[in-house]
Structure 1
Amino acid sequence: MPRVDQNSRRRRGTGLIALDGEAASPGYTLFAPLTGSGEVHLVDLHGRVVHEWRLPYRPGRHARILPGGNLAYNGVLPDEPALFPMWHKYRGGVMLQAAPDGTVLREHRDPLQHHDANHLDDGRILYAALEPLTGAAADAVRGGVPGSEADGGIVWADTIKEVDADGTELWSWRAAEHLDREAYALHPDYAREHWPLINSVAELADGNIVASLRSTSAVIVISRATGEVLWRTDPGTVSQQHHPTELPGGNLLVFDNGVFRPGSDVPYSRVIEIERGSGKVVWEYHDPAKESFFAPFMGAAQRLPNGNTLITDSPAGRLFEVTADGYLCWEYVVPQFAAYEDSAVRSLFPSEPNAVFRAYRYAAEELPWLEAGA
């Protein structure tokens, strides 16, 4: 008699779980399994793989398809030292573009890059990186678990960099220069090794920058001209959030993880739309049974052309789509399970996950090369 699979997520079923073809937004969904060796998959609404890329680096988070048809992919730079215990979990270092056949067309490398690298349509890359703070500068960071700095008493602080297609730096921003330490203190249960833990950066329509600061539970808008913080979410609006994106009209769509949510005794995740003028939540999705949808880390959301929202439940490898009134019309569970390659990361996450950082949906007309059989 076969033994029972002890991987709970795999045992519950993978691939296409649910589809309402009349309600779902048509197209193809892109994802890169985080424990893979460099594979990126494109599936149709029925969960059938229609295209794959095989890249020379394991994922340093995610991939997306650019308007010209190339794949923007963030990979892990091999053989880099661990700056602190969690570094190998979310570092990157290689930002590349590849043709539909997987040919690498260009690369930009920065060993201190982590989480998000946003490949813009004109060849620029906007990404999060680190710099070390020591001595008084490290001591000035507020909050966190006392004595939990990285080796040497270092607090690794976030920077944001923008480079052109040739890798020339065009713009940069330093958290240590522009963030008030009291207003952006680390949550008291977080290690002091990394502050404020930027997990997403994007350019807004007006040229300013939106960033997600996980460990301080804040989404901010940064002035490109001065570096000052022009706007932030009100305290308590989001909790350890990810992936703020601008919608037509200026509202922000945010994946709100819900870790350490004030006033909530049951943790749950939600996706919210925030009106920047008022700071109010004007749309929200959570599972009808709130505890059934909780992603303690990672997560993403994409507003689709028909008004639906594609949600990435990252640690569960669960991709699903909901309508504006919260009706789930498509659900797919990533079937690729594997252990993390790095031994230090495996010790922190000893299972075989099917996690993905972000998924994206593309309409057929955005992928003309797919019809051509590339």
Structure 2
Amino acid sequence: MEQSTLIRRGVGLRGIDTTLVSPGYTLIAHLTSPGVIRLISTDGTEAHRWTLPFRPGRHARILPNGNLAYNGVHPDSPRLFPLWQKYRGGVMMQVDPAGNVVSEHRDPMAHHDQHHLGNGEILYTTLEALTPEQAATIPGGIPDSEAPDGKAYADCIKHVSSTGSLLWSWKAIEHLDPKLFPLHPHYAREHWPLINSVFPLKDGNILASLRSVSAVIIIERETGKVIWHLDDSVLAQQHCASELPNGNILIFDNGTFRKGESATYSRVIEVSRASRSIVWQYRDPHPMTFFTPFMGGAQRLGNGNTLITEAAFGRVFEVTREGSLCWEWVNEEFADYKGLGAEEIEGLFDYPANALFRAYKYTPEEIPWLAEK
């Protein structure tokens, strides 16, 4: 009998409503692959793949010029702490449809979100070690759970040019008040505040998601000040905050340790920037059947639908504005971390997984070269 519950429940295309689904192709990066990126058609078949020399450092996107923006795992990053091997990145590549590397920027301390802006510039998250005095100012977390070297690390955000020159930078320890952004009690003190997404806003400021403190913030680029803040009264270890054309903020809200509720479920929320209120949300009609404890993605599509990544289980699905499910696909490829240079977590994640960090969907018009194959 098949021992994987996920496989028994079904993989590949699980359903489609052709009258409601947005036409196009979904880009996925299987996290425990050696570096395979695939475009999946709405019929569930593979339309294109890239095979790259580094395992995914979280995710990939298609740029306006048609190239692939890929974040791979840096081969020479320091071994900071075990979970660092799971979510680090560091090799930021632009790759053409044939797999040729067009450009590359490396930072061995980069992690989670390396957001390619389309003009060769990159906005990304990175880490630096705190001094003992700085680390002592951060409340919360599991006592005595610093990294093996005794240090605590804190996030930075960098914006670099197409040639790798630093255009702008921001350090959490210099601009966040730790008393307002304490670590949740179940988090290790090795990494604060764990920024898992960065997004450039139309007004020039920076939107960031801080997982281990359950907050989404807006950073004023000119001063570095936090000028907008959504806290854990709304969010629970969220991911993938992005700005919509109407100025609202779309967020994947994981729901782990959500305040005021004992049942655990994930949801996608659209928040008004002006009022900080939820103006739209999706959660499964049976809420607890849609849940990923970590990772996750949400993308508002051109026809108003929302593409959602239930990341830990390799599930990508599309819903209408009214909440109707119109497409569902589950990654059929499973692998563990053996042979991927992540020995520290082979025992923590010792099962074949089909996990994705987040997925993105593109219309045929956004990938014209695909029709020319």
TM-score by length of 2: 0.98
Q: 1:143 to 1:228 in 2, by over 3 A?
A: same
Give the 5 Å matches for 1:354-369: 354-369=354-369
In the alignment, what sits opposite 1:351?
Answer: 351
Q: Deviations over 1:27-49 (max 9, x none)?
A: 11110100001111001100111
Aligned-pair Cα RMSD in Å: 0.9
For 1:196 and 1:114, how far apart are their aligned partners in 2? 13
What's the CA shift for 1:79? 4.1
Distance in 2 (CA, whole Å) between partners of 1:212 and 1:134 is: 24
User: In structure 2, the residue corresponding to 1:239 is in which secondary structure?
Assistant: coil
Checking the alignment, whether the CA contact within 8 Å between 2:201 and 2:207 is kept in structure 1 is yes
Specify the code of the residue in structure 2 equivalent to 1:351: Y
CA distance in 2, matches of 1:180, 1:13: 46
Quick check: 1:319 aligned with 2:316? Answer: yes
Q: Are positions 1:200 and 2:168 aligned together?
A: no
8 Å contact from structure 2 (residues 213, 232) kept in 1? no
Aligned length: 370
Q: Matches of 2:86 and 2:148 in 1, distance apart? A: 17
CA offsets per residue over residues 156-200 of structure 1, 9 Å max, x none? 000000001100010000000000010000001110000000000
| Kept in 1: contact 2:216–2:230 (CA 8 A) | yes
Amino acid at match of 1:154: K
Percent identical = 57
Q: Deviations over 1:237-280 (max 9, x none)?
A: 11000000100121000000001100111100000000011100
Give the 3-state SS of the residue equivalent to 2:293 in structure 1.
coil
| Greater mean alpha carbon deviation, residues 179-188 or residues 345-354 | 345-354
CA contact (8 A) 1:253 1:272 kept: yes
Letter in 2 for 1:360: Y
Counterpart CA distance in 2 for 1:235 and 1:49 is 39
Query: 1:178 and 2:181 equivalent?
Result: no
The offset of 1:78, in angstroms, is: 1.4
Matched residue type, 1:255: F
What is the match of residue 226 of structure 1? 223
* Equivalent position SS for 1:254: strand
Please state whether the residue corresponding to 1:5 is helix, strand or coil: coil
SS of the counterpart of 2:346?
Answer: helix
Structure 1, unpaired ranges of 5+: none
* 1:129 has 2:97 as partner: no
Question: Bigger CA drift: 134-143 or 90-99?
Answer: 134-143
Partner residue in 2 for 1:168: 165
1:200-279 to 2 correspondence within 5 Å?
A: 200-279=197-276
Q: Which of 130, 146, 150 matches 2:147?
A: 150
Runs of 4+ with deviation above 6 angstroms: none
How far the C-alpha of 1:153 sits from its partner, in A, is 2.6
